[in-house]
Amino acid sequence: MKSIILLSLLFISMLARANSSADLMAHNTLQNIHRLNSAQSMINPEPECIECSRPKIQYDSCNEKNNYLDKSIENMGTNPIISKLVNLAPANPTITTCIRESMKQIGRGVKQVNCTKDQKSYPSYIDRKTNKKRIRFAASPCISESIVKVTQNAFEMVTDCTSSYVTDSHSDSAKRSHARASFALVNMESGFFMNSVSHTGAGGVAQLTGVAIEELNKMKKNEGFPQMLDVIKSSPNKSCQAIAQMNLQPMQHSFRNSCDRVSLDKGHPILGYLYKVAHQKSVRNGIQKEINSDPFLKSLIQKLPPEKQEELMSALTLWGHNTGANGIKRPFSHFANSTRGQQLLAEGQIDQFMQSLSGYVVAHNVVSNSERGLAHKNDRVREIRNFYTDAINKRNLIEKSLGSNSSGGKICTL
């Protein structure tokens, strides 16, 4: 009996030693595999998973009250403009989040209208108190994937096509400055909703008035909408070629055709972005003529590095969208010739220069009293004074809400 117990104990001891050796061998093998994998990853690192860190975009759930733009896009699926914008994959996924956030934070604070197919003027009603016709505003459109996609593709396509037309430069820095100024402008004016309308009737992504549309339709000599279309049609740029095939027609400027400023079936949002560009070109040409007419000012600007020159011109053009060319070029010239203006430009302090320019802009833009009275005049003065700063601050607000400050980047940039 004792011998059996001894043999059992000996067998168990041998088995334990065998298991211990096997565990040690397995542990050593795993360590060697880990070392090999570590070495391999240093030689051929795995590509960074960008999608893993990008937050999933949240879209709205639409209802019968706010899905009218979605329905219009769906019903116009065979339209060559809409078909192109719906089926094209957006070039920059980050801009998708920027536009989505702009619609949410800015666009919902702007009025919109629902111009149905073949409708000519904004929907309206008679105010019983004043017996005057008023614009009938609609609910803000739901922020759906299709609306964001159409809006983004139109913005990216027009910006890619026309940046060199506006800036007279093919440099990357010029394109970036123009794109950032364009984003700030559209974000400020409409929150990227193509059917945005002000109480005065200005409409579209850039809130153009009937007067502005009429002027842009009549302009000659390398500015204006018809001339810009000619440039686009002759351009080898792929985005320009795509736009040229859309057979876009000029907007009608009269208020009885006000749906021309916002309707999908009229070619929006592409058409609205193109008119914005035509207006930017007109303003920029006016600023450049002012610089060229003043040898001292011209010399002062030419001393700036090219990227600073473009930053300045894009900023002035942004402000000029609100004031017009005359309303920005003259105050710019006066301030640039002052001691303080010269100092800021010589130091390349473009943002500080623009902030200090506001007093000159107000002084040179005399706002007359209108039928709305003094309160309206004061509102217009504030709008002129703060337009540039408000546009930049609202763009920064969008970028901050998307985490731009933590990464240090300017994320709403093409």
| pLDDT tens digits along 210-220 | 999 999 999 98
pLDDT of residue 6: 42
Bridge-partner residues for 304, per DSSP?
none
pLDDT of residue 164: 94
Q: Do 85 and 149 form a contact (C-beta atoms < 8 A)? A: yes
Angle, helices 270-292 vs 295-302, to 10°: value is 120
pLDDT of residue 339: 97
Percent of the chain with pLDDT over 70: 82
Question: How large is the average pLDDT for residues 243-247?
Answer: 93
Q: Considering only residues 89 and 259, tell me which one the structure prediction assigns the higher pLDDT.
A: 259
In whole numbers, what is the pLDDT of the chain averaged over residues? 86
Helix (H) or strand (E) holding 188, with range, is: helix 172-190
Question: 307, exposed or middle or buried, with CB in 10 Å at 0-12, 13-18, 19+?
Answer: middle
Helix (H) or strand (E) holding 134, with range, is: strand 132-135
Enter the pTM of the model. Answer: 0.84
pLDDT of residue 299: 96
Bridge-partner residues for 132, per DSSP?
127
Segment 307-336, tens digit of pLDDT:
999 999 999 999 999 999 999 999 999 999
Q: Whole-angstrom Cα distance, residue 119 to residue 138?
A: 15
Which two tokens mark 391? Answer: 């546009």
Length of the chain: 414
Query: Is 26's pLDDT higher than 50?
Result: no
What confidence tier does 204 reach under pLDDT thresholds 50, 70, 90? very high
CA-CA-CA-CA dihedral for 211, 213, 215, 221, to nearest 10: 170
Segment 147-163, tens digit of pLDDT:
999 999 999 999 999 99
Segment 265-318, tens digit of pLDDT:
999 999 999 999 999 999 999 999 999 999 999 999 999 999 999 999 999 999
* Range with the poorest average pLDDT among 33-42, 309-318, 345-354: 33-42
Query: Is 368's pLDDT higher than 60?
Result: no
Q: Considering only residues 56 and 202, tell me which one the structure prediction assigns the higher pLDDT.
A: 202
* Range with the poorest average pLDDT among 21-35, 125-139, 278-292: 21-35
* Bridge pairing between strands 132-135 and 124-127: antiparallel
Bridge-partner residues for 199, per DSSP?
none
**According to DSSP H, which parts of 247-305 are helical?**
270-292, 295-302
pLDDT of residue 35: 53
pLDDT of residue 90: 87
Domain boundaries defined on the chain: 51-300
**Maximal CA-CA distance, the chain:** 120
Q: Do 91 and 156 form a contact (C-beta atoms < 8 A)? A: yes
Q: Whole-angstrom Cα distance, residue 86 to residue 65?
A: 22
Query: Is 24's pLDDT higher than 50?
Result: no
pLDDT of residue 153: 96
Q: Which residue has the tokens 């093409």?
A: 414
pLDDT of residue 84: 87
Query: Is 188's pLDDT higher than 80?
Result: yes
What confidence tier does 370 reach under pLDDT thresholds 50, 70, 90? low
